[in-house]
Structure 1
Amino acid sequence: MLRRLSGSHKPHQSHTYLDAAPARRHGPEIDNDTGYLFVPQLSQQQATDLYSGEEANPSPFSTRGFAGDTRQTTPSNSTNRQENAMSFESQIFSPIINNSMEGHKLRRSRPRNLWSCSLLTISLTVLSAISLYGIIHSYMTRQIDPQGCKTPRMMPTYIQLIGFDTEHTRFASKYRLYLYRERTVDEYSEQDIGLRGVPVLFLPGNAGSYRQGRSLASEASLYFQDAISHDQEKLDAGTRSLDFFMADFNEDMAAFHGQTLLDQAEYVNEALAYILSLYHDPRRSGRDPNLPDPSSVILIGHSMGGIVARTVLTMSNYQANSVNTIITMSTPHARPPVSFDRDVVRTYKQINDYWREAYSQRWANNNPLWHVTLISIAGGGGDSIVPSDYTSLSSLVPETHGFTVFTSTIPNVWTGMDHLSIAWCDSFRKVIIRSLFDMVDVRRSSQTKQRAERMSVFKKWYLTGMEAISERSLPQKDPSTLLTLEDNTNSILPQGQRLVLRGFGNRQLPEAHLLPIPPQGASGKKFTLLTDQLLDSPGGNGKLEVLFCSVFPLRAGHSAALLSSNMDLSGGSAGSTRLACKSAMEDAINLPASTRSSKFAFDDALPFSYLQYNLEDLMEHQFVAVIDKAAKRSSGWLVAEFSDSSDALIQTKVGLGRLLATGLDIRLPAERPMLTEVKIPALHSSLLAYKLRVGKQPCGEHAELFTPLLRQYISEPHESKYFVNVKEADINLHGVAPYMPPHLRDRSAMRGISFQLWSDPSCNASTELSLRVDIIGSMGKLAMRYRTVFAALPLLVTALVLRKQFQIHDTTGLSFYLGAFDQFLTSLGIFIPFSEALDLCLRISLPLLFIILTFVSASLATSNSGMDNSEKASTDWRSNSTESAINFTRNDLLLGSQDSFFWFLVPLFGLISIGLCVVVNYVVMALIYGLATIRSVLVSRRGYIKHDDPRPAAIYPSLSSRQRIINSAVLLCFVATVIPYQFAYLVACLVQLATCVQTLQYARESKSNSQYNFYNYVHSIFIPQRGYTGYVPVLQLGHTAVHWWTPSPSHHNVLSIMPFILLVETLTNGNMIPRRTSRLRHVTSALFIILAVYAALYGVTYAYLLHHIANIVTAWLVGVHFASSGFLFRSLNQAFEGSSFGEDGPPGTNGNIKKLP
């Protein structure tokens, strides 16, 4: 007798009940209380005849009977029993399936057109394409910072240090160490490689070459020969040449493999010990024996090489104090560039935690990094490999030990750079090498100056000099020049008057112009001076010298002994005034020249000289003396003045909403200082871009001394951009960025963008500033900051679509039980196409989830903002230590936004993700259709035909079960020992593609619903498998191609690949996944929901866990395939349902292909 699957309700005795969804109108009769279909009662003999294939009484649904198959059958043969069961299915239950659909109204009277697409899906896909095109087009064409790098020339020679072999490191067969020598400059031979200077080690980045360090090494050799070697004062101060060593990491892809990072750091520590040992060997070192042997090496890292440099100090084989200076270029310090590898994320956390904990120590003796200085240099918006936001050290290092600066900030560089050019840019390499020569001191065993002195050198060379942390040398200097003037001189300007000079050498004699310094009681005063001439040193032969003077109290006879320079402008007059003066030359700030012919800040032009002092810095002086020393008339100009901060500073309170609506317009009055500064605290996000327009300034009868010069800057990180001859400027910044950890210091004074405008005050004309949000240009800023989102959110969409497909599959169709044989005959479910399930999700589940995520994103941003205020109120950042109570992971969730203004990004990225899923689905379908068509043509030419068979067919029918098990076992053994599991994914993807192709071919030939169901199933499984795992073999190809036999345990985890291999192998057998009609079906739904939610919340920050969750989902599907008829699922059914009956699905059946006679 046919019995119910589950439940306590007993069916009517005159009917047999079949588990099914609610029937459509004109379909079979429905028992509304039980939800089962029923057909007339069958006797046990009729059921036996049906299952054995023997024709008995005619079927109530067919005139031919239940087993109308014309093929010969043998009742004892189990295969024939299955075939007759399928015949029973096709004759009895196909009419029921065609007429009994569930609430989604999915009528299956004939195979659905897989290419069909609803109007809603098409509309959303079009909107998605428009949005994505806008982002990409904006990124490629809008708000692009100009680049002005010149390619240097060099004559490199690389000496491989073959002595650094397996006796020193276990990585000698994989990595190598080189010494750079410039031909025609450096002296070296086979016996003497010429080690006479300070050791420097260059570390390349991800897939980088050691040869990238040749630009810096060549400049070091040339500059020492041309300048340092002839400067006895520098030589006496301990300056020597730089010996550049280079690590060859064989272009390993360290950004995608954490173990590689650790291996390289271990190798570098061993290389440091070997390099230092070379200087102890008199046969290799030509150093002065009176100098101490080096005990430390300067590290310079490009890209991930900078992370390797920081990792060196955390390794167990690190030799204490062997590194005290690290300079990194385009290095992502704050967070890993991608998070697909667990070891990379874990290694980053360990490194950053170590550095934060070290600097959180109250006492220097407890801080192992107290002597270390770390400088991070970023290329800016031109870097398309690593977002320059990630180069920030603000969450890692206090400002006493390091800082982050952009190349557009560095004086005499003033240009952005891409990820590669930062390693060879000519103007940039000159600054790096000069700063290194300024901070080395071979008289110390560390080979460098003390930490505070090194930081002063780096601030001098890398910062503009206008930052709050910039140091002025004037207050620490002693007077060096005695200036003598006539008593009745008229060169002293009235208090508050501006000094303007047009031309020099008018008197053809030295001439002094004195500006009285306001009294100390005057608050908010600032002195500024701008000129197109270089400031001369005392006793020099230049045109212009600027001195800060006070009245000299001693007699003339003592002047020569106390002051090194004497400047007498009294003309021999008996009555004279003597002033003791300090030179301001060392505090001069270079600004890019801004003239009518200027185009870019990095143009080849003599820079402007600028001085800026607060009144507090001049408290011991009474006059500013501008000395015109030109012996003949020459062109040039100078503007100097004391200004009030109330006139020079404009503090705006405009909000972002108002700025979007109306913009910001500021009118600068005609009577204004030379320098005007505008602060806009509300503009601090790196996701927005702006357009700034500067109105034309008429200058009357006098030609303007210089055209407007604009500086855009933020204080943390130190990013400045200059716009010369400015009329319109593209404004973008690297301020508050997504997913960035919070700062160590108080950010209240650092938030917001500021503009400094230098304009000719002698024109006495007003001008206007107009600032507008560049909406189109802002779209491009999403590309770099959120590129990983476009890999995570599509997985969310795919997970929900798969959930919908399994949900419908488990709740539609028929399941029945034959008591005569005490087993299930079949389980018929409908597995709808991916596109149809996506269309259903677009109506409720996806919009609902994205609405929830939008509110979550806004609430997280609001709470993070409140956390900033609470931490700021409870933290004193004037000390050198950090605060360990800060939650550095609070911006890891969702879109990592720290501003609720960007709530709209969640639905925007959701829309784009939906469009990407639609496109990927149809691209994959087109690929499968094309391959299936080609295969059909090839098979037909070879004379193969396929019988009409509605069952899923095996892809490799010639392989036995034993052979399949052996193949899978062999592949897993290779994964465990030789090949990384990522390549096993690639194999699984290819096999799955073959399964899709052959399944589609059978479905198109047979026109069978069951074949189309199976194709929809394997197609939907292939989409996330290809989308998520497709990137892994590509990224690991470079890593594994070079010395692939080197052990890497994290890449040989069998459990990371086993479920995928088993599932793919199961699908090649043609096994359709059985339906789960019990409560166990909710497990499938729950797993897909977990995957979707995790992809939304942590898919960007911890993307590697997506693989583990997908692995669990896959393992569950394998379990459903393999254990559906076993003891496990019967036990689970009893636990969930309380029934003694299990459930089963149809056994896997193979297709029937025969050769034409």
Structure 2
Amino acid sequence: MGLKRVLTGLVRRGYNSWPGLLKVPFLQNSSIFSGRITRVDGNETKIEDCKGNSTLISLNQKQTRRCRYGMRLAFLTGIILTMIVAYLTIFGTFYGADSPRCQPVYMYPSYARIDGFDLRFTPLAQKYHLYLYREQGLDKDPMDNDTIQLDGIPVLFIPGNAGSFKQVRSIAASAAESFFTHTEDIENSYKSNLDFFAADFNEDFTAFHGRTMLDQAEYLNDAISYILSLYKETNSYNAPLPSSVIILGHSMGGVVARILPTLQNHIDGSIRSIITLSSPHAASPVTFDGDILKIYQQTNDFWRNEFQNNSSFMSQNVSLISVTGGVLDSTLPADYTAVEDIVPLTNGFTTFTTAIPNVWTPIDHLAIVWCNQLRDVVSHLLLETVNVNSSEKVLPLDQRMQISRRFLLSGLEDFAVQDFRVTNATKNLEKYEQQLFGDAEVKKSMEPFILSTRDIEVSSKFTKFILPKNEPKAFFSFMTSFPKAVIYFCRENKMVGENEEEYLECVNAQADILQIPESSKYTEYAGDSSIYGNSEPFKFFRFDSNILSQYDFVLLESPNMAELANDDFMIASVTQVENILAVNDTPLDILFFGFEITLSSDDSFWHTLSFQNLWESLISYRIHVSIYPEVEKDLLFQPFIRQWNNDPAESKWHVNVGHSDQDVFMHNVAPFIPLEETHDKALKLTLFLPPDCKVRLHVAFNWRMTLKMLFIRYRLTFLALPISLISITMAYQFFWYYKTSLFMDFGAALSLLFYKHWLLGAVTLVVLSPLANTDIGQKIFYTLDPIGFNRPFLTTDVHMRTNFYYLGIRSWFMSGLGIFFAFMTIGVLLLVFQLFQILEKILHILKRVKLLPIPDVEFRHHKMVHLNLSRLFVSFLLLLAVIFYIPYQLAAAICLLIQIGTCLRIALMAENVTSKEYSNLRNYNFSMFLLMAFVVAVDAPIIIVFLHNIAIKWETPFRSHHNFMAIAPMIFLVGINSQFNVPRYTKLDVTITIGLLVYTGFFSLIYGTRNLYWTHHLCNIICAWLLYGMRFTFGKELIN
């Protein structure tokens, strides 16, 4: 109690020392609540003198003080949390493995607009256009004697939300340079140059508007048909005519690419290979438009059904590769790019740029189309997977997927092992004479091979590692800094015949050696070892007993000693120890106690820590590595860490980690993203240690990164929760309005609600997260869902499920996040309320000094004021505009402006007006303004799309959102409100009013984040019912 009293005093003194304008007005004496309000005669109120002390409805003076103090504390807490999150989101920086390392790019672009693709081929030719990219000095000129010149394989680039067709230039230029100047680096014997086409969508806002997305898909299907026809008109094209086009999509362009096969104008077989960059396949990044959610659902259902049928065309021919830049993508969460719930691993996968060999850097949303390292990899991948000798113009699916895994995965993923030569011994074994390898030096299990400038004595050309039999924990590991290494996996055999002769069957594993970032005392980032970097990558691989059981020994060829540089090394060993350690610490354990472990390179130069309970993507950690004890001599290499998880296959490299802190942020189990529940979800850290090295690893909770990354995943929640709280507070206002005939101001109602029901609210917000993650909870919420777009059980046969409800959280540990957001919501809403009261005072001051010469007004009772002819005419004119031209969201914005005007007119009334009627009018209209403001914020993206269409002179009517019933009640209500009316209800009617508002609050809380657009319709229903309540209203006439 003593500590509580001290803290209470400090907070009170700190608050009282603030300037007056920073104090919340509703928390101080309010004229309307300057006395105790009690119930009299069931319908009237009586204000009793409380000797100057202000009290709130149903509370005594002591309770009122507690209520105001609690609200002050909640307000300050919410504002502080909001400021912290905003600051970290905007100004927080990334370090180490999460910092950008993209190299600049140079090209000589030119674009040829294809005017022949006009209204004869597509009805959207006036709005969209098609371009052919040509790299100057390398590609052929696009035209020759009025004839288009096409001599390559068609690739169609689809830009994303507000994207430009010119974004194709980086990858297209790299492909041209690779083919025409470095063709010897391309291993594909069926290679050809590429003809890059790009769609110009006039920077349409695809992510905001479903109809726009469908228009683009329809246009692209027609464009593909036209592109294929162009090759028939090209006389100089010597190869088989193409029947398909390679698709390269950025952002929402990748989603549009997946819509193409679902439309009626799609040409069967015209799409076989799709590569997307930062495309949100798993879920829509915004939910402002119901059409987008409907398109996502139908498209994903189509693709899942196609791939569940093993004999379908898509299952046997179509590949979908999703590339994401990871944590630097501040436009959409990288978790949204996952495709594992849509396509099987035989047809596609998701990869992170931090895992791609020779890239090894995170990339932001826009840079992913021009980052020098990535564009070289993508262009090279395209050239390696084409087949100029076939009409499909791409290699068969299994070959494309094998090449894609080699180019875009680290090679250490479980499903990447299938591509190694040593995996399939029967297929890749070759016969060798034993004499070829001479007298190899033999190394047994747990006996390491180390070659460096400190020990260059090599007794033989080859070193032979004996592999243990029937040892489940056996590993063969190899790492070197040499640019080339030769390794054979062999087994002994005898030639049957008169002279039994022993020989070896071996697999040359040189092609299986992986590249990983260098870690030396000179390297700071993994990207330093990428293409155009200043360091050469290490070579590494390791194989477990599943592969080693096929062989008897491994032969390692020693490098040429003359080529040995000062820092070069080679280490290899066969181990039989448990290199993978399962750690069962929970996030709670890490938060309070941390985790610490000491590891040594005595038994193995790598160790993997598998944190079984650390899989929540919302949480970030910090690891500190200390070399223990201090090593005086130089190490062969500096300790480094591979951070990884299985699904999706993310790898991140932390190099040169000795005596440094590293941020660990993962994309694993994320809110609202489908999850295969049976897959291994653990966060894994693999430490690579040089010989004679011991390190201490400490893992702690990282508050800075955890708070920084909240906003990008819960941007929509910051609209849904305020609507929920506003609706519930308005329900409370109407409850007391019916009970006392006084409409409390928003701040007082929120403070009273918080004081009386804070415990119930806190428990509800905490319990909802685990409840929404249970089978029964999801079935209940799905049954109550009025929309039904979000099905939690996607494919039950493979245990694929998602959590669309509330905050989408899957762990108990993060259940308190709802309370965190609730405080932020309270802080923001009360700040708006305070600013409104400050604005009122400013208007009164301006009026007092005659800067605003508006006369005082008074109330006079008369019959109800209906809409006059001018207002009625304007209302119907607005409805006609909605029916024939503008979207109803724009009409909602106009209604908000009218409501703001009403609030300002009320604020400009006589300063001494303190009657109950004035207070009711003021408080009711402000609450309506607050609700409409957040609903119009949800409508704003559709308005932006409409205005953008006008800006590009697309003068046809907007092709969606013309339902006048979705806006008519709101239009008429703001018209009635502008004539200073307040609704009144009977007991049954007010029960319905409260029920509608409570349901809106419930819907916004549970379903709002993934169905924001529906909050407009709920608000419209509320407006209709409030309009109905005006039949009991006595109007107020304003007189001078």
TM-score tier by shorter-chain length is 0.7 to 0.9
CA–CA separation in structure 1 for the residues paired with 2:601 and 2:475: 19
1:124 aligns with 2:79: no
Q: Match for residue 598 of structure 1?
A: 523
CA–CA separation in structure 1 for the residues paired with 2:35 and 2:595: 65
1:784 aligns with 2:674: no
CA–CA separation in structure 2 for the residues paired with 1:495 and 1:961: 95
Q: Match for residue 42 of structure 1?
A: none
Q: Match for residue 1151 of structure 1?
A: 1038
Q: Match for residue 737 of structure 1?
A: 670
The match for 1:440 among 386, 410, 413 is 386
Counting only pairs closer than 5 Å after superposition, residues 319-718 of structure 1 correspond to structure 2 as 319-361=267-309, 363-365=310-312, 368-470=314-416, 471-474=419-422, 475=424, 478=428, 485=435, 489=439, 491-494=441-444, 496-503=446-453, 512-535=461-484, 544-549=485-490, 581-603=506-528, 604=533, 605-618=535-548, 619-620=550-551, 622-631=553-562, 634-644=565-575, 646-669=577-600, 671-697=602-628, 703-718=634-649
Would the aligned equivalents of 2:209 and 2:942 in 1 still touch at CA under 8 Å? no
Would the aligned equivalents of 1:862 and 1:900 in 2 still touch at CA under 8 Å? no
The match for 1:1058 among 968, 993, 997 is 968
**CA shift for structure 1 position 932:** 6.3
Q: Decide whether aligned partners of structure 1 residues 832 and 29 sit closer, same or farther in structure 2, where only a CA change above 3 A counts.
A: closer
Would the aligned equivalents of 1:664 and 1:772 in 2 still touch at CA under 8 Å? yes
Counting only pairs closer than 5 Å after superposition, residues 204-353 of structure 1 correspond to structure 2 as 204-228=159-183, 230=184, 234=188, 237-283=189-235, 286-288=236-238, 291-353=239-301
Q: Secondary structure at the match of 1:500?
A: strand
CA–CA separation in structure 2 for the residues paired with 1:141 and 1:299: 36
Would the aligned equivalents of 2:433 and 2:503 in 1 still touch at CA under 8 Å? yes
Would the aligned equivalents of 1:356 and 1:884 in 2 still touch at CA under 8 Å? no
Deviations 1:30-56 (CA, angstroms, capped at 9, x unpaired): 67xxx477xxxxxxxxxxxxxxxxxxx
1:1096 aligns with 2:1005: yes
| Range moving further from structure 2, 301-310 or 969-978 | 969-978
CA–CA separation in structure 1 for the residues paired with 2:193 and 2:43: 90
Counting only pairs closer than 5 Å after superposition, residues 939-978 of structure 1 correspond to structure 2 as 941=853, 945-946=855-856, 948-949=858-859, 961-978=868-885
**CA shift for structure 1 position 631:** 4.7
CA–CA separation in structure 1 for the residues paired with 2:428 and 2:770: 57
Q: Match for residue 4 of structure 1?
A: none
Would the aligned equivalents of 1:932 and 1:997 in 2 still touch at CA under 8 Å? no
**CA shift for structure 1 position 1150:** 2.9
Q: Secondary structure at the match of 1:810?
A: helix
Deviations 1:248-272 (CA, angstroms, capped at 9, x unpaired): 1111111111111111111111111
Which amino acid is 1:172 matched to? A
Q: Match for residue 790 of structure 2?
A: none
Which amino acid is 2:639 matched to? P
Deviations 1:785-843 (CA, angstroms, capped at 9, x unpaired): 2221111111111112211222222222xxxxxxxxxxxxxxxx322211111111112
CA–CA separation in structure 2 for the residues paired with 1:107 and 1:700: 71
Deviations 1:586-637 (CA, angstroms, capped at 9, x unpaired): 1111111100111000012100011222344342453413232355664453
Would the aligned equivalents of 1:27 and 1:99 in 2 still touch at CA under 8 Å? no
1:1106 aligns with 2:1015: yes
Larger radius of gyration: 1
CA–CA separation in structure 1 for the residues paired with 2:969 and 2:757: 28
Identity, % of aligned pairs? 30
Q: Secondary structure at the match of 2:755?
A: coil
Which amino acid is 1:1072 matched to? V
Would the aligned equivalents of 1:166 and 1:172 in 2 still touch at CA under 8 Å? yes
Which amino acid is 1:758 matched to? F
The match for 1:985 among 868, 880, 892 is 892
CA–CA separation in structure 1 for the residues paired with 2:862 and 2:704: 51
1:809 aligns with 2:809: no
**CA shift for structure 1 position 760:** 1.0
Q: Secondary structure at the match of 1:646?
A: coil
Counting only pairs closer than 5 Å after superposition, residues 835-874 of structure 1 correspond to structure 2 as 835-845=747-757, 847-863=759-775
| Range moving further from structure 2, 690-699 or 264-273 | 690-699
Q: TM-score, normalised by structure 2?
A: 0.86
CA–CA separation in structure 1 for the residues paired with 2:438 and 2:266: 69
Would the aligned equivalents of 1:717 and 1:735 in 2 still touch at CA under 8 Å? yes
Q: Secondary structure at the match of 1:1069?
A: coil
Which amino acid is 1:1053 matched to? N
Would the aligned equivalents of 1:862 and 1:898 in 2 still touch at CA under 8 Å? no
Q: Match for residue 1045 of structure 1?
A: 955
Counting only pairs closer than 5 Å after superposition, residues 1058-1077 of structure 1 correspond to structure 2 as 1058-1073=968-983, 1075-1077=984-986
Which amino acid is 1:345 matched to? L
Would the aligned equivalents of 1:504 and 1:636 in 2 still touch at CA under 8 Å? no
Q: Decide whether aligned partners of structure 1 residues 494 and 510 sit closer, same or farther in structure 2, where only a CA change above 3 A counts.
A: closer
Would the aligned equivalents of 1:253 and 1:1039 in 2 still touch at CA under 8 Å? no
1:1036 aligns with 2:943: yes
CA–CA separation in structure 2 for the residues paired with 1:29 and 1:514: 96
CA–CA separation in structure 2 for the residues paired with 1:601 and 1:843: 53
CA–CA separation in structure 1 for the residues paired with 2:172 and 2:1005: 46
Would the aligned equivalents of 2:213 and 2:256 in 1 still touch at CA under 8 Å? yes
Would the aligned equivalents of 2:771 and 2:777 in 1 still touch at CA under 8 Å? no
| Range moving further from structure 2, 546-555 or 1034-1043 | 546-555
Would the aligned equivalents of 2:489 and 2:551 in 1 still touch at CA under 8 Å? no
CA–CA separation in structure 1 for the residues paired with 2:186 and 2:879: 68
CA–CA separation in structure 1 for the residues paired with 2:935 and 2:186: 62
Which amino acid is 2:584 matched to? K
Gaps of 5+ in 2: 1-32, 59-65, 780-793
Which amino acid is 2:663 matched to? D
Q: Decide whether aligned partners of structure 1 residues 516 and 633 sit closer, same or farther in structure 2, where only a CA change above 3 A counts.
A: closer
Count of paired positions: 962
Which amino acid is 1:513 matched to? F
Deviations 1:644-670 (CA, angstroms, capped at 9, x unpaired): 353422122223332333222112245
Q: Match for residue 798 of structure 1?
A: 726
Deviations 1:1065-1094 (CA, angstroms, capped at 9, x unpaired): 111122232x22432211111111111111
**CA shift for structure 1 position 1060:** 1.3
Which amino acid is 1:999 matched to? I
CA–CA separation in structure 2 for the residues paired with 1:505 and 1:28: 93
Q: Decide whether aligned partners of structure 1 residues 1035 and 122 sit closer, same or farther in structure 2, where only a CA change above 3 A counts.
A: farther
Would the aligned equivalents of 2:37 and 2:47 in 1 still touch at CA under 8 Å? no
CA–CA separation in structure 1 for the residues paired with 2:862 and 2:937: 27
Q: Match for residue 9 of structure 2?
A: none
Q: Match for residue 121 of structure 2?
A: 168
Q: What is the alpha-carbon root mean square deviation over aligned residues?
A: 3.4
Q: Match for residue 30 of structure 2?
A: none
Would the aligned equivalents of 2:859 and 2:1036 in 1 still touch at CA under 8 Å? no
| Range moving further from structure 2, 451-460 or 471-480 | 471-480
**CA shift for structure 1 position 335:** 0.8
CA–CA separation in structure 1 for the residues paired with 2:167 and 2:438: 63
Q: TM-score, normalised by structure 1?
A: 0.78
Q: Match for residue 760 of structure 1?
A: 690
Q: Decide whether aligned partners of structure 1 residues 714 and 623 sit closer, same or farther in structure 2, where only a CA change above 3 A counts.
A: closer
Which amino acid is 2:592 matched to? A
